[in-house]
Structure 1
Protein backbone atom coordinates (compact mmCIF):
# COMPACT_ATOMS: atom_id res chain seq x y z
CA UNK A 1 0.00 0.00 0.00
CA UNK A 2 1.32 3.40 -0.98
CA UNK A 3 0.04 6.51 0.78
CA UNK A 4 0.33 10.01 -0.66
CA UNK A 5 -0.50 13.51 0.50
CA UNK A 6 -2.20 15.84 -1.97
CA UNK A 7 -1.19 19.38 -1.07
CA UNK A 8 -3.63 20.87 -3.59
CA UNK A 9 -6.74 19.91 -1.61
CA UNK A 10 -8.15 21.47 1.55
CA UNK A 11 -8.35 18.15 3.39
CA UNK A 12 -5.78 18.16 6.22
CA UNK A 13 -2.86 15.74 5.77
CA UNK A 14 -3.76 13.70 8.88
CA UNK A 15 -7.25 13.16 7.45
CA UNK A 16 -5.82 12.10 4.10
CA UNK A 17 -3.64 9.50 5.86
CA UNK A 18 -6.57 8.29 7.95
CA UNK A 19 -8.92 8.03 4.98
CA UNK A 20 -6.38 6.22 2.80
CA UNK A 21 -5.72 3.63 5.50
CA UNK A 22 -9.46 3.11 6.03
CA UNK A 23 -9.93 2.65 2.28
CA UNK A 24 -7.01 0.20 2.10
CA UNK A 25 -8.58 -1.87 4.89
CA UNK A 26 -11.96 -1.66 3.19
CA UNK A 27 -10.68 -2.77 -0.22
CA UNK A 28 -8.44 -5.49 1.21
CA UNK A 29 -5.11 -3.85 0.36
CA UNK A 30 -4.42 -3.94 4.10
CA UNK A 31 -5.58 -7.08 5.82
CA UNK A 32 -6.17 -7.85 9.49
CA UNK A 33 -2.85 -8.20 11.27
CA UNK A 34 -0.83 -6.27 8.67
CA UNK A 35 1.89 -4.16 10.23
CA UNK A 36 1.86 -0.43 9.50
CA UNK A 37 4.95 1.72 9.11
CA UNK A 38 6.21 3.39 12.28
CA UNK A 39 5.05 6.99 12.71
CA UNK A 40 8.44 8.56 12.00
CA UNK A 41 9.09 6.38 8.96
CA UNK A 42 5.72 7.14 7.39
CA UNK A 43 6.09 10.85 8.22
CA UNK A 44 9.42 10.93 6.38
CA UNK A 45 7.98 9.07 3.39
CA UNK A 46 5.05 11.50 3.18
CA UNK A 47 7.16 14.57 4.00
CA UNK A 48 4.90 15.56 6.90
CA UNK A 49 5.48 16.12 10.60
CA UNK A 50 5.42 12.99 12.78
CA UNK A 51 2.49 14.53 14.69
CA UNK A 52 0.44 14.37 11.51
CA UNK A 53 0.84 10.61 11.21
CA UNK A 54 0.50 10.16 14.97
CA UNK A 55 -2.87 11.96 14.90
CA UNK A 56 -4.12 9.80 12.03
CA UNK A 57 -3.00 6.66 13.87
CA UNK A 58 -4.67 7.84 17.12
CA UNK A 59 -7.97 8.42 15.34
CA UNK A 60 -7.73 5.07 13.58
CA UNK A 61 -7.00 3.34 16.88
CA UNK A 62 -9.96 5.03 18.58
CA UNK A 63 -12.13 3.86 15.68
CA UNK A 64 -10.85 0.30 16.08
CA UNK A 65 -9.27 0.17 12.63
CA UNK A 66 -5.75 -0.30 13.95
CA UNK A 67 -4.18 -1.38 17.22
CA UNK A 68 -0.86 -0.51 18.80
CA UNK A 69 1.06 -3.32 20.43
CA UNK A 70 3.68 -1.34 22.29
CA UNK A 71 7.18 -1.80 20.93
CA UNK A 72 5.94 -4.45 18.50
CA UNK A 73 4.33 -1.76 16.37
CA UNK A 74 1.00 -0.77 14.90
CA UNK A 75 -1.22 -3.28 13.10
CA UNK A 76 -4.54 -3.46 11.30
CA UNK A 77 -7.02 -4.60 13.94
CA UNK A 78 -8.10 -8.20 14.04
CA UNK A 79 -11.88 -7.93 13.84
CA UNK A 80 -13.92 -10.86 15.06
CA UNK A 81 -17.05 -9.73 13.23
CA UNK A 82 -16.49 -8.72 9.57
CA UNK A 83 -20.05 -7.43 9.10
CA UNK A 84 -19.75 -5.15 12.12
CA UNK A 85 -16.31 -4.04 10.96
CA UNK A 86 -17.76 -2.94 7.59
CA UNK A 87 -20.42 -0.91 9.39
CA UNK A 88 -17.81 0.61 11.71
CA UNK A 89 -15.69 1.63 8.72
CA UNK A 90 -18.73 3.09 6.95
CA UNK A 91 -19.62 5.03 10.11
CA UNK A 92 -16.05 6.33 10.39
CA UNK A 93 -16.15 7.43 6.77
CA UNK A 94 -19.55 9.12 7.28
CA UNK A 95 -18.27 10.92 10.38
CA UNK A 96 -15.21 12.13 8.48
CA UNK A 97 -17.38 13.44 5.67
CA UNK A 98 -19.72 15.16 8.13
CA UNK A 99 -16.72 16.82 9.83
CA UNK A 100 -15.27 17.79 6.47
CA UNK A 101 -18.38 19.75 5.50
CA UNK A 102 -18.81 21.19 9.00
CA UNK A 103 -22.06 19.38 9.78
CA UNK A 104 -23.28 19.59 13.35
CA UNK A 105 -22.94 16.15 15.01
CA UNK A 106 -26.60 16.11 16.07
CA UNK A 107 -27.68 16.78 12.47
CA UNK A 108 -25.43 13.96 11.25
CA UNK A 109 -26.90 11.58 13.82
CA UNK A 110 -30.41 12.59 12.74
CA UNK A 111 -29.54 11.68 9.15
CA UNK A 112 -28.38 8.23 10.25
CA UNK A 113 -31.49 7.72 12.40
CA UNK A 114 -33.72 8.67 9.44
CA UNK A 115 -31.84 6.28 7.15
CA UNK A 116 -32.19 3.43 9.64
CA UNK A 117 -35.94 4.01 9.91
CA UNK A 118 -36.45 3.73 6.14
Structure 2
Protein backbone atom coordinates (compact mmCIF):
# COMPACT_ATOMS: atom_id res chain seq x y z
CA UNK A 1 0.00 0.00 0.00
CA UNK A 2 1.36 3.39 -0.97
CA UNK A 3 1.26 6.10 1.66
CA UNK A 4 -0.67 9.24 0.73
CA UNK A 5 1.47 12.23 -0.25
CA UNK A 6 1.48 14.16 2.99
CA UNK A 7 4.13 16.59 4.19
CA UNK A 8 4.17 17.92 7.74
CA UNK A 9 5.97 21.18 8.49
CA UNK A 10 6.58 21.34 12.24
CA UNK A 11 7.67 24.98 11.98
CA UNK A 12 4.51 26.46 10.42
CA UNK A 13 2.51 26.82 13.66
CA UNK A 14 -0.28 24.40 12.68
CA UNK A 15 -0.39 21.30 14.88
CA UNK A 16 0.91 18.24 12.99
CA UNK A 17 -2.31 16.23 13.56
CA UNK A 18 -4.29 19.01 11.90
CA UNK A 19 -1.88 19.18 8.96
CA UNK A 20 -2.35 15.43 8.44
CA UNK A 21 -6.12 15.71 8.75
CA UNK A 22 -6.38 18.72 6.43
CA UNK A 23 -4.17 17.14 3.77
CA UNK A 24 -6.16 13.89 3.92
CA UNK A 25 -9.37 15.90 3.45
CA UNK A 26 -7.87 17.59 0.39
CA UNK A 27 -6.59 14.30 -1.05
CA UNK A 28 -9.97 12.62 -0.52
CA UNK A 29 -12.08 15.50 -1.82
CA UNK A 30 -9.78 15.90 -4.83
CA UNK A 31 -10.17 12.25 -5.79
CA UNK A 32 -6.54 11.32 -5.12
CA UNK A 33 -7.83 8.98 -2.39
CA UNK A 34 -11.26 7.82 -3.61
CA UNK A 35 -13.93 6.22 -1.43
CA UNK A 36 -12.87 2.65 -0.66
CA UNK A 37 -9.14 3.40 -0.58
CA UNK A 38 -7.34 1.68 2.26
CA UNK A 39 -5.02 4.00 4.17
CA UNK A 40 -1.77 3.02 5.86
CA UNK A 41 -1.95 1.93 9.47
CA UNK A 42 -1.47 4.60 12.08
CA UNK A 43 1.96 3.24 12.93
CA UNK A 44 3.04 3.07 9.29
CA UNK A 45 1.93 6.60 8.41
CA UNK A 46 3.46 7.95 11.63
CA UNK A 47 6.76 6.27 10.77
CA UNK A 48 6.63 7.56 7.18
CA UNK A 49 6.02 11.13 8.40
CA UNK A 50 8.37 10.99 11.38
CA UNK A 51 5.52 11.65 13.82
CA UNK A 52 4.27 10.01 16.98
CA UNK A 53 1.54 7.42 16.43
CA UNK A 54 -0.80 9.44 18.66
CA UNK A 55 -0.54 12.38 16.26
CA UNK A 56 -1.73 10.33 13.29
CA UNK A 57 -4.31 8.58 15.48
CA UNK A 58 -5.85 11.94 16.33
CA UNK A 59 -6.08 12.91 12.66
CA UNK A 60 -7.69 9.56 11.79
CA UNK A 61 -10.06 9.85 14.79
CA UNK A 62 -11.18 13.34 13.72
CA UNK A 63 -11.96 12.05 10.22
CA UNK A 64 -13.67 8.97 11.59
CA UNK A 65 -15.89 11.12 13.80
CA UNK A 66 -16.84 13.13 10.71
CA UNK A 67 -17.73 9.95 8.81
CA UNK A 68 -14.93 10.38 6.27
CA UNK A 69 -12.97 7.30 7.43
CA UNK A 70 -14.00 3.97 8.90
CA UNK A 71 -11.76 1.58 10.74
CA UNK A 72 -12.32 -2.12 11.16
CA UNK A 73 -10.14 -4.98 12.28
CA UNK A 74 -10.09 -6.79 8.97
CA UNK A 75 -10.09 -3.98 6.42
CA UNK A 76 -8.08 -1.40 8.38
CA UNK A 77 -8.75 2.30 7.85
CA UNK A 78 -10.70 3.02 4.68
CA UNK A 79 -12.02 6.18 3.02
CA UNK A 80 -15.77 5.96 3.63
CA UNK A 81 -17.17 9.21 2.23
CA UNK A 82 -16.29 12.57 0.80
CA UNK A 83 -15.89 15.29 3.42
CA UNK A 84 -19.06 17.33 3.79
CA UNK A 85 -17.00 20.53 3.61
CA UNK A 86 -15.02 19.38 0.59
CA UNK A 87 -12.89 22.04 -1.07
CA UNK A 88 -12.83 22.40 -4.82
CA UNK A 89 -10.61 20.12 -6.93
CA UNK A 90 -8.21 22.97 -7.75
CA UNK A 91 -7.49 23.46 -4.04
CA UNK A 92 -6.86 19.72 -3.71
CA UNK A 93 -4.47 19.74 -6.67
CA UNK A 94 -2.69 22.78 -5.23
CA UNK A 95 -2.32 21.07 -1.84
CA UNK A 96 -0.84 18.00 -3.46
CA UNK A 97 1.57 20.13 -5.51
CA UNK A 98 2.69 22.06 -2.43
CA UNK A 99 3.26 18.81 -0.52
CA UNK A 100 5.41 17.42 -3.34
CA UNK A 101 7.29 20.70 -3.81
CA UNK A 102 8.07 20.83 -0.09
CA UNK A 103 9.21 17.22 -0.07
CA UNK A 104 11.63 18.12 -2.88
CA UNK A 105 12.97 21.03 -0.85
CA UNK A 106 11.64 23.71 -3.20
CA UNK A 107 11.04 27.17 -1.84
CA UNK A 108 7.72 28.93 -2.37
CA UNK A 109 9.30 31.08 -5.07
CA UNK A 110 10.77 28.08 -6.89
CA UNK A 111 7.40 26.30 -6.78
CA UNK A 112 5.57 29.35 -8.12
CA UNK A 113 8.18 29.80 -10.86
CA UNK A 114 7.63 26.17 -11.94
CA UNK A 115 3.87 26.73 -12.20
CA UNK A 116 4.29 30.01 -14.09
CA UNK A 117 6.70 28.37 -16.53
CA UNK A 118 4.13 25.67 -17.31
CA UNK A 119 1.38 28.21 -17.80
CA UNK A 120 3.46 30.04 -20.40
CA UNK A 121 3.79 26.83 -22.48
CA UNK A 122 1.03 26.52 -25.05
TM-score, normalised via structure 1 length: 0.66
Say if 2:64 is the partner of 1:68: no
Distance 1:64 1:89 in 2: 12
TM-score, normalised via structure 2 length: 0.64
What residue number does 1:36 align with? 39
Tell whether the 8 Å contact from 2:38 to 2:75 is kept in structure 1 after alignment.
no
What residue number does 1:56 align with? 59
RMSD of aligned alpha carbons: 1.6
Please state how far the C-alpha of 1:9 moved relative to its aligned partner: 0.5
What residue number does 1:12 align with? 15
Q: Return the structure number with greater helix share.
A: 1
Q: How many residues align?
A: 84
Note the residue ranges of structure 2 that are not aligned, 5 or more in a row: 88-122
Note the residue ranges of structure 1 that are not aligned, 5 or more in a row: 80-84, 92-118
What residue number does 2:85 align with? 89
* Over 2 Å off, 4+ runs: none
Distance 2:75 2:68 in 1: 17
Structure having greater relative contact order (Cα 8 Å, sep ≥ 6):
2
